[in-house]
Amino acid sequence: MGVLGCADIAVRRILPAIVEHPSVRLVAVASRDGARSARLAARFGCAAVTGYRALLDRDDIDAVYVPLPPGMHHEWVAEALTAGKHVLVEKPLSTTYEQSAELVATAGRLGLALTENFMFLHHSQHAAVRDLAREEIGELRVFSSSFGVPPPDPSSFRHDARLGGGALLDVGVYPLRAAQLQLDGELDVLGACLRVDEATGVDVAGSALLSTATGVTAQLDFGFQHSYRSAYALWGSRGRISVPRAFTPPREHRPVVRLEQQDRTTELTLAADHQVGNALDAFAAAALSDTGRTALGEALLRQALLVEQVRKAARIVSL
């Protein structure tokens, strides 16, 4: 496996997991800055490559991980697929539905795995919560989710519209994906609001209201002008379950979920899990077998469409 870029998430979370997990083998890391790739290669025990194209030209690499800014995803995911590589790309897959549809079609035509790196989907707490909800809270009425973080460094790509910056693409995609995970059926966007920083032209916070065909609503909030919050809740006819560490739990963390029912509150401690390693294992399985790739492509398109619909439905508030 090769890595296109030396982003912080690659250095902190993905590269250590690749080195540790037997389902994948780290071959090379590429950067436009040769000295930077050399430092990372020495740290993680792989080859250093200068330039992304040079890494894609290697015949000892079957798959690549792409942690580049979102505005660069379409170009380099397309290049990687054309070079015959399976692709694990950081969320979002691209900045528009049209671009995402093109990439999904390319991967399907070439018989390659294409996966968006929502690592939280691979943590066992979410299946446990879904099972608990079926047993304890009755008919589901409302799903709510928030993902907010403190302001990023001013030099971050998150403040650059040309690089695909903005809160919707950076953190808003998580509550959207979680709603699809826990709600049955298709979701429609009923309304949204995006707060846009006039100085940078990117959205820094937002909210969205979605609904299933049966009227179960999803109330979502996100941004990077906030104290840290990474949570969701399922509210039903007989109770409510809240998940306070939904998206980024450390591997050693044992999640505690809260079940609230009439005159009773119960806290349940679940097993720790390594969602980063699990995500790599799932990607390796998709690359080694074409089973399930159609479903992966459909999930990518549903996510991209919802992001586009939120953007189109949003009331823009300038700051």
pLDDT digits (tens, 9 = 90+) for 130-149: 999 999 999 999 999 999 99
Strand, helix or coil for residue 258: strand
Residue 103, phi then psi, degrees to nearest 5? -70, -40
- Section 80-106 average pLDDT: 98
Last residue of a domain, one of 97, 117, 137: 117
Judge whether 97 and 103 are in contact, CB under 8 Å: no
Domain region containing 216: 123-318
Tell me: do 141 and 110 sit in the same domain: no
Tell me: do 139 and 99 sit in the same domain: no
CA distance 60 to 82: 16
pLDDT band at 75 (very low <50, low <70, confident <90, very high): very high
Tell me: do 189 and 293 sit in the same domain: yes
Per the structure, the count of domains in the chain is 2
**Catalytic (active-site) positions:** 91
Judged against a pLDDT cut of 90, whether residue 291 lies above it is answered with: no
User: Strand order in 314-318's β-sheet?
Assistant: 264-269, 256-261, 240-243, 229-236, 140-148, 217-223, 203-212, 187-196, 314-318
pLDDT band at 156 (very low <50, low <70, confident <90, very high): very high
CA distance 204 to 194: 8
- Section 77-96 average pLDDT: 98
CA distance 167 to 163: 13
pTM: 0.96
For 32, the token pair is 């436009």
CA distance 40 to 42: 5
pLDDT at 96: 97
Tell me: do 141 and 252 sit in the same domain: yes
CA distance 95 to 91: 10
